[in-house]
């Protein structure tokens, strides 16, 4: 007998009166709380994993969990299932609070049928998802399951269909967070992919459509589960995972932190938090952080730390597409979404992955009423055959579409370079930014001065006795005519050129003014964004 076969459901002998019935109830509840067996629990612990109930206790405020359908059991027959009918059917569902606000949760119990999804299991998840949508509260899934319950056949597959349909219906209505704490293979991986955020734990969680054995059989490639779909792969290479941590405790604590920065639903604003960081704090250090020379790199993280409350922010997709930064932070206690080019990586250019990363973040912020602050230092889109053949046009258009479609308050700040189409895409005034500011170090142009001079003055340079001297002179002339810091401001394309040390105060005042912004999109069923 395997550990997963140990699913005791023996009736409890009691007296046939009210007290006896109550005693029976408490005995059953204790059996539900303990799970299938001590041996199954020990097997879970041996893998370095917590039980489903321990995970829920970490996620929710102490004593706040209310379980739904703890006594549910499957009705399937065949393949020995009729003899194994454990309570909960391998998934724990219910609601509780995180920082005092309601959150719905379901957690696979790997000790029961390996957390595999059957009909009753799926019905419980459907119910808690419907409750979360109706109540207008976030939904967190703690995933640790072996996929569909093969013994129940197509009924299990239909259960996944119901989950996907509800994930889609809840999208943009309530925050949905998937926490991967074990295996997630096949069609089961599509539910996390439909949610707003995916968390993973190194070594213990994996996600893939086809496992290593199938991959080897079909392609001849030999690879481990973690090498194929582990936390580092999905947080650095594929972009499927937004966060990756070394242990479950840290992972779940970060889920709580993320929830503290999100609204309950799309009809509310994110919760404000009192701060002791002065709104008018001057950022003298900013004058030294960003070099005036556009060819010198710097770390945009340090700029963000200087601007936001107490230097604290939550970066999303930190290790994927590192040439752009997306993060949630607070300014004067109010949550904002920050999109920023990162000159330390690929000079901060936009490429396929950066465009997708930023577009998804902008859409999430717009769905949940989170104002957007965009920090620009972008030399353009990444050139190259691979980028063009990979569809940089349509991928870049995703970011353009996301910004153009966003109705939340939008402020853009040009720190240094802002060239070409990348400048327009990064929430320029021309695509609807409410306010656009620039530092005196800004360079807004169609392209860099060197490239522009080579195009405009090609004939003069070629015919000159000293082509290099002529090129240098023409570059200087182009910069003085079209790339000086006040060119865009003189034409109303920038609302103001500001002292960098005043940036925090300017952003906070501007966001306070825009807090009551109301904007309507044209009446339509939905847009057709580039894919």
Cβ atoms of 154 and 121 within 8 Å: the answer is: no
The DSSP code sequence of 406-446 is --S-EEEEEEEEEEHHHHHHTT-GGGT-SEEEE-TT-EEES
CA 370 remoteness from chain centre: 14
Number of other CB atoms surrounding residue 31 within 10 Å: 16
Quote the CA–CA distance of 294 and 153 in Å, as a whole number: 61
User: Look-up: residue for tokens 């990363």?
Assistant: 357
Which of the residues 422, 438, 488, 489 is marked catalytic?
422
Exposure string of 468-501, with b = 16+ CB inside 10 Å and e = fewer, is eebbebbbeebbeebbebebbbeeebbbebbebe
Clarify whether 390 is annotated catalytic. Answer: no
Which of the residues 187, 283, 391, 451 is marked catalytic?
187
User: Look-up: residue for tokens 């999430």?
Assistant: 364
Which of the residues 136, 172, 186, 391 is marked catalytic?
186
Q: Which long-range CB contacts under 8 A does 28-31 form with residues at least 24 apart?
A: 28/71, 28/87, 29/70, 31/87
Strands 410-419 and 372-378: parallel
Clarify whether 23 is annotated catalytic. Answer: no
Cβ atoms of 125 and 91 within 8 Å: the answer is: yes
Clarify whether 348 is annotated catalytic. Answer: no
3-state helix, strand, coil in the chain (%, to 5): 45, 20, 40
Q: What number of residues does the chain have? A: 531
Cβ atoms of 414 and 437 within 8 Å: the answer is: yes
Clarify whether 422 is annotated catalytic. Answer: yes
- The three-class DSSP label of residue 365 is helix
117 forms beta bridges with 148
Which of the residues 421, 432, 451, 464 is marked catalytic?
421
Cβ atoms of 92 and 36 within 8 Å: the answer is: no
Quote the CA–CA distance of 370 and 135 in Å, as a whole number: 21
Cβ atoms of 376 and 423 within 8 Å: the answer is: yes
Quote the CA–CA distance of 474 and 451 in Å, as a whole number: 11
Catalytic residues: 186-187, 421-422
């Amino acid at each position: 007998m395997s550990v997963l076969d140990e699913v005791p459901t023996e009736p409890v002998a009691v007296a046939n009166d009210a007290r006896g019935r109550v005693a029976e109830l408490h005995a059953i509840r204790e059996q539900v709380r303990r799970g299938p067996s001590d041996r199954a629990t020990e097997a879970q612990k041996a893998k370095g994993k917590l039980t489903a109930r321990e995970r829920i206790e970490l996620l929710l405020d102490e004593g706040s969990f209310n379980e739904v359908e703890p006594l549910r059991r499957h009705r399937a027959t065949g393949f020995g299932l009729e003899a194994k009918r454990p309570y909960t059917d391998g998934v724990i569902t219910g609601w509780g609070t995180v920082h005092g606000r309601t959150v719905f949760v379901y957690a696979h119990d790997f000790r029961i049928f390996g957390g595999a999804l059957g009909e009753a299991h799926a019905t419980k998840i459907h119910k808690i998802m419907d409750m979360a949508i109706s109540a207008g509260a976030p939904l967190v899934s703690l995933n640790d399951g072996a996929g569909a319950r093969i013994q129940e056949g197509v009924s299990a597959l239909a259960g996944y269909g119901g989950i996907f349909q509800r994930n889609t219906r809840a999208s943009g209505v309530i925050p949905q967070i998937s926490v991967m704490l074990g295996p997630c293979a096949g069609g089961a991986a599509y539910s996390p992919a439909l949610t707003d955020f995916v968390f993973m734990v190194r070594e213990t969680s994996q996600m893939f459509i086809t496992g290593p054995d199938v991959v080897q059989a079909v392609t001849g490639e030999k690879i481990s589960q973690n090498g194929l779909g582990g936390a580092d792969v999905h947080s650095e290479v594929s972009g499927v995972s937004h966060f990756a941590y070394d242990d479950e405790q840290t992972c779940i604590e970060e889920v709580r932190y993320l929830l503290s920065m999100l609204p309950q639903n799309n009809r509310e604003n994110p919760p404000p938090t009192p701060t002791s960081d002065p709104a008018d704090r001057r950022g003298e250090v900013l004058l030294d952080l960003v070099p005036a020379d556009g060819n010198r790199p710097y770390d945009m993280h340090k700029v963000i730390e200087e601007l936001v409350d107490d230097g604290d922010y939550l970066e999303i997709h930190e290790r994927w597409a590192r040439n752009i930064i997306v993060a949630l932070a607070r300014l004067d206690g109010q949550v904002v979404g920050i999109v920023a080019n990162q000159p330390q990586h690929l000079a901060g250019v936009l490429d396929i992955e950066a465009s997708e990363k930023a577009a998804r973040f902008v859409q999430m912020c717009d769905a949940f009423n989170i104002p957007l602050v965009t920090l620009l230092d972008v030399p353009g889109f990444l050139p190259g055959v691979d980028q063009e053949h990979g569809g940089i046009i349509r991928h870049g258009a995703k970011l353009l579409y996301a910004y153009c479609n966003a109705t939340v308050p939008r402020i853009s700040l040009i720190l240094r370079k802002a060239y070409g189409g990348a400048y327009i895409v990064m929430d320029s005034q021309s695509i609807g930014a409410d306010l656009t500011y620039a530092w005196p170090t800004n360079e807004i142009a169609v392209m860099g001065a060197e490239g522009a001079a080579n195009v405009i003055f090609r004939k003069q340079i070629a015919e000159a006795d000293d082509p290099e001297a002529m090129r240098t002179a023409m570059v200087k002339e182009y910069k003085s005519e079209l790339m000086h810091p006040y060119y865009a401001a003189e034409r109303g394309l920038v609302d103001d050129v500001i002292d960098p040390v005043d940036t925090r105060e300017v952003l906070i005042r501007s966001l306070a003014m825009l807090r009551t912004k109301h904007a309507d999109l044209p009446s339509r069923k939905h847009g057709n964004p580039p894919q």
